[in-house]
Each structure stands twice: as structure tokens, then as C-alpha cells.
Structure 1
Amino acid sequence: MLIIVLGVLVGLLLGLTGAGGGILAIPALTLGLGWSLVEATPVALLAVGIAAAVGALDGLRKGLVRYKAAGLMASAGWLASPLGLHLAKLLPGSALMAMFGCVMVFVSGRMFMQARPECRRAVEAAHDKNCRVNPSTGRLEWDAKCSTTLASIGAVSGLLTGLLGVGGGFLIVPAFRKFSDVPMHGIVATSLMVVALVSLGTVGHLLYQGFSLSGEAVLFIGATLGGMIAGRVIAPKVCERLLQQGFAVLCAVVSVMMIGKVLMTVF
């Protein structure tokens, strides 16, 4: 029952936030179920990747996904994720847990600040965007600046995906929003596509190395998928600002718990 509840919660937040909920998959498995980070990483990636793919397909059906941008970011992510997997093998589990907690602190603070009305207006009013949509065609205007920006976002996302087992949506959504004038619905749908491609690509590396799924893992993945579908249905009815601030507070609480767990093992 706990596996189902945690999986549904992760999927629900993933559907509501557009990919941010994926960062909670690792804490759900390590803090909630007591798994090690090594055990949790591939299961979290597979659960988030499959759930994000469902959301991305819905975005494609509605014409919201910027598939060229998603393809570029995912390609850069695929190249960077093996490096993250290699670094994860070299670092001790406690160091990875502490690093994950620090990333969550940064994410929670960033999301809470960006949810403030004055910050949201500043982002939306900014004109010096690296990637701009052509008003006449509705498509991105591709140049070296835009391509480099998107490739960099994808590479950092892929590195963190391999290193910490996170989907990377917590980075893609704010970065894509900051450096482009793509509408928010398009940013969320495109982010889900990148998260799905990079996460499932990273799982492919792990499967090649001999990873196999347990019954508990399959149950968690199925529950996450169900939560994702529910989240996408109710997302339009939820206040985006309050959701973002509430999610930021939740991430902050979880990050403190993870860092506290690391300190307890060290001292």
C-alpha cells in the first residue's frame, strides 16, 4: 500500500508541475521505502520516464511539444548521462545523498522565488530571449545562440539524470522559460518529452549493465503512471502559483530530511 501511495503521489506531482515531481521519486524510494540510492535510481528513472512519456504524448496530440527543441536537448542529455552514471559509481552513497539534498534545496528556493507575482511578471516581460518564436510562423527561430542554449540545458539535465537519478524537468522548465518566449503549456509539454527521452535512454544504459526490475519496482512504476494521468487531468483546474509554492515547500522539507539522514550516518 505504501508503494502505491508514494508512486501515485510522485506521478500526481509530475503531472501537475510538468516534470518537477520527478525529483521526489528518489526521496520516495529512499526515505519512504528504505532503499539505497543505487537501488532507487533505475526504478525512479524508469517510473518518471514512462510517466513523462504519457504526458508528452498528450502534449504532442495537442500540438504543444516543440519537438525539434526536445530532440536537441534530449540528444545532448543522452551524451551527458553516461558521464553522470560513471561519476555516480565513483562517489560514495552518502556523498550522492548529500548532493541530492543540496540540489533539492536549490530547486525549492528557486521555485518559490519564481512563483512570486513580481518575479513571474519580470520573466514574462524580458525581451532578451536566446530562443524566440516567430510570430508569423509560430515556430522557433533557430540560430547558433538558440541551439547552444538548448544543447547546454539538455547536457546539464542529462548529467544530473545519470548522476542523481532525477528526470531533469526541475531544470528544463525554468531554464526553457527563462531563455525562450515559448508559452508555458508548450514549455511543460516539451520538458516532459525531454525527461521521457533522457530518462528512458539512461535506463537503457542500466539495462545493458544487467539491471532487472523487482515486483515492488513494477508496482511503483504502475502507481506513478496512474498518478501522472490523474495529474494531467486536474492540472488546468489548479492555481499554478500556489501549486508551485506548495511544491517548493515540500521539496525543502524532503531535502532537510535527506541531508539529516546523511548526517546521522556520518556522525
Structure 2
Amino acid sequence: MMLIGALLGLVIGAVLGLTGAGGGIFAVPALVFGLGMGMRQAAPVALVAVGAAALVGALQGLREGIVRYKAAMLLAGAGALTAPLGIRLAHWMPSRELNHVFVAVMLVVAYRMFLSSRRTPENGGPPMEPARACRISRETGRFVWNLRTAATLGSVGVVSGLATGMLGVGGGFIIVPALAHFTELKMHSIVATSLMVIALLSAVTVSIAWSQGLALGAPAWAFVLAALAGMTGGRVLAPRIPARMLQRIFSITCVAVAALMLMRGGK
């Protein structure tokens, strides 16, 4: 079981490092199918692995100067307000309904990511028709801050926090498409900023779960440690793979995992 956990963690960390999203989306099904966990048990374990791996990626991005840290802190701060509500909803909803929500979210993510891939140039630059809600200074490469920018990013953070608490995912599957749609950031900066938000949001949610008695066994720890290694490898490979290809592979995999979760039902 430890070997299976390590292999699954390696893959999850690599996906997170490559795309800035999807770590939690894939971590929960991986733990459910690979280690036999239930949805409620898998969610916090997934967050520990995803949060730790995202922290490694965010620190790498900070060293490279591509993390928009003010935006990341706003996104995470807004998300921290709604993450506890998401945790309560997860405990309140029946397992089958929670499973169906998870599947629906994955299909929406797949569709949005595929649409984004059609607008993304092969060099991973900004979309061909960049959104204007959050503008980037051509001189500094940083956000031009105003009320519209703050409100837009704050709203994205609120939705991400709710999803993080309820579904046990890092929120990157919402953050990455949202930043690609609402901002003029380049993809490599979007990924790095998303990783910082995921790390911060996961830390808040995991601390709540830990206070409620979360405990990790040996297979779960193997999963977490391997995810850190996978993240490092993913961040090395990311600049060498076209953003469009990554987005389409991500979309196809989302649909496949959603189908498996739907067949499994809410066990």
C-alpha cells in the first residue's frame, strides 16, 4: 500500500506542478481508488499532499519573480472566509450527493480548460483575446490595482475557498481558468500564483481538519512525500511543454476520472 501511495503521489505532484491545478481534483479519486479511502477521509489527506507540494512550487515561483503575491494573498484571504462553510457542507451532504457534485465540477473544469486551450498560443503567452477586468502594467508586469481588480480577484477567492473546504481540492481548478479569463497574466505566472493560493488555502483547511482529529497512516504519508517529489519534477518540465497541450491532456483526464467517480457512486 505504501508503494501504491508513493506512485500515486508522484503523479499528483507532477500534474500540479505542470498545470497549477488538478492536484486536488486527481488526488481525491487517486486516494479513493488506489488506497480504498472514502470521500470524506480522502479529502483532508489530499489537501495535505496538495498544499505541501504547492508550497514547494510557490517558493520556486517566488525565487523566479513570477508569483503575483499580493493577488495570491487576496485570493487566499477571501477563500479562507468560505473554506469553513465548505467543510460544514461536506459533513452535511450525503456521500452520494457529494460525489455527484465532485463529478459535476470536474466536467465543468474539463470544458472550461478545453475552451481555454483553443485560445492559448503554443508559446504559453496570454490568450489571443485577453480579458480586461484585471489589467497588467506593461512596465512592471504587475497588476494595476483598482476596485474592479480587487473585487474580481476577491470573488474568485470566495468560490475557491468554498470548493476547497467542501470537495477537498486545492482550488487551482477554479483559480487557473479564472485568472486566464479575467487577467492578462502569462500562463507561467498564472500557474505560480495559483500554487501560492493553493498552499495558503490548504494550510487553513488542513489546520481545521487537524483540530478535528485528522490522522495520517503510512500510505498517506508516502503519498504526501511523493507528491513533493512530483511537484519538483513537474516544475522542471513545465516550460518545455506547450501550454495548449497541457490544457487538453488535463481536460481529457478530467472527463475520464469523472466517469470513474460516477460509476463508483458515493461510497
Shorter chain as denominator, the TM-score bin is over 0.9
**Residue equivalent to 2:44:** 42
Is 1:11–1:225's contact at 8 Å kept on the other side of the alignment? yes
Partner of 2:120: 120
Q: Distance in 2 between matches of 1:126 and 1:64?
A: 22
Matched ranges for 1:44-123 at <5 A: 44-116=46-118, 119-120=119-120
CA distance in 2, matches of 1:159, 1:10: 22
Q: Secondary structure at the match of 1:124?
A: coil
Deviations 1:219-243 (A, max 9, x none): 1100111111111111112222122
CA contact (8 A) 1:11 1:22 kept: no
2:150 match: 147
Which residue of the partner structure matches residue 183 of structure 1? 186
Which letter maps to 1:27?
P
- 2:6: which partner in 1? 4
Q: Using the TM superposition, give the Cα deviation of residue 127 of structure 1 relative to its aligned residue in structure 2, in angstroms.
A: 5.5
In the TM superposition, what are the counterparts of 1:228-267 in structure 2 within 5 Å? 228-262=231-265
Tell me, in whole angstroms, the C-alpha distance in 2 between the residues paired with 1:127 and 1:248: 21
Change (3 A) 1:178 1:95: same
Q: TM-score, normalised by structure 1?
A: 0.94
- Distance in 1 (alpha carbons) for counterparts of 2:23 and 2:47: 12
Counterpart Cα distance in 2 of 1:32 and 1:98:
20
Other structure's SS at 2:237 match:
helix
What stretches of structure 2 of length at least 5 have no aligned partner?
Answer: none
Query: How many residue pairs get matched?
Result: 261
**Are the equivalent residues in 2 in contact too, given 1:19–1:52 (CA < 8 A)?**
no
Name structure 1 gaps, 5 residues minimum: none
Deviation at 1:138, TM superposition (A): 2.9
**Aligned equivalents of 2:128 and 2:214: distance in 1?**
47
Contact in 2 for aligned 1:31/1:258 (Cα 8 Å): no
Contact 1:22–1:48, Cα closer than 8 Å, also in 2: yes
